[in-house]
Amino acid sequence: MQLAGKVALITGGASGIGRATALLFAREGAAIAIADVNADAGQQVADEIIEAGGRAFFELTDVTGSADCRRFVERAIREFGRIDVLFNNAGIIRRSTVLDLSEEDWDRVMAVNVKAIYLLSRVVVPHMQKAGGGAIVNTSSGWGLAGGAKAAVYCASKGAVVLLTKAMAIDHGAQNIRVNCICPGDTDTPMLREEARQLGVENSRFFAESAKRPLGRAGTPEEIAQAVLYLASDASSFVTGTALVVDGGGLAGSV
């Protein structure tokens, strides 16, 4: 059990990659604190972990608000006593060019995808320092390393996550806090279906695009969760400041 005795905080844990990671981390021995704005689905994930014999709680949390982030972290400390892993996974997408994107949507995407990492990390890092170290994993994207059509603010936000990750790794390495990010490609999640809806494209046609990758398919949340587990566990004890691409080879031909 790679996370036995550890405590992991997961944002966006009600569905998709966050849900798969919460369940995997629990099987690997971690106590799980889940944050999301979807109360029913988030509580279901926590209940599933508890019913399987694990420890978990769900906290309704808007990760773009400092008060909500602080309350979530304080509850984790109160219930579990420490924080070893922070998975900053909450994210949203708006498929648009800068010409068609509203200022409100720009601000919202940047707040959820980038600001939330800052808000949670600044509360969590002092607890990790007291505990002698920890691991932070942020969710970026393949589009944090290469641009994409009609995704201006999403690409901007995920590119920011990559460099924020590297800066944090430099700042906190001396405290034995490792900071890395994952860069998934197309993954079979509710957000991918939301992309198709925003673009007015049928799901089947949208997923067919994934078949053009070298591995010929979209990824699963469980496959991405395995990459998060690697970065969160002692298996990656000498890895920090990296952007781990998990995309079925989608960026293999990029510079």
Give the whole-angstrom CA distance, residue 124 versus residue 62. 16
Q: What is this structure's pTM?
A: 0.95
Structure tokens at 103: 């200022």
The SS3 call for residue 105 is helix
Residue 115: name the closest of 154, 160, 170 by CA. Answer: 160
154 is catalytic: yes
Kindly give, in sequence order, each residue whose CB lies less than 8 Å from that of residue 201, ignoring residues fewer than 6 positions away.
Answer: none
Query: pLDDT at position 255, please?
Result: 60
Catalytic residue among 137, 154, 181, 227: 154
Q: What is the pLDDT of residue 78?
A: 97
The CA distances from residue 233 to 23, 84, 127, 228, in Å, are 15, 10, 18, 9
The structural domain count of the chain equals 1
Domain limits for position 129? 7-246
pLDDT in the model for residue 191: 82
Tell me, what CATH number does 134's domain have?
3.40.50.720
In a domain, 70, yes or no: yes
With respect to residue 253, please indicate whether it lies within any of the assigned structural domains: no
Average pLDDT score over residue span 229-249: 97
The predicted-structure confidence for 33-85, as pLDDT tens digits, reads as follows 999 999 999 999 999 999 999 999 999 999 999 999 999 999 999 999 999 99
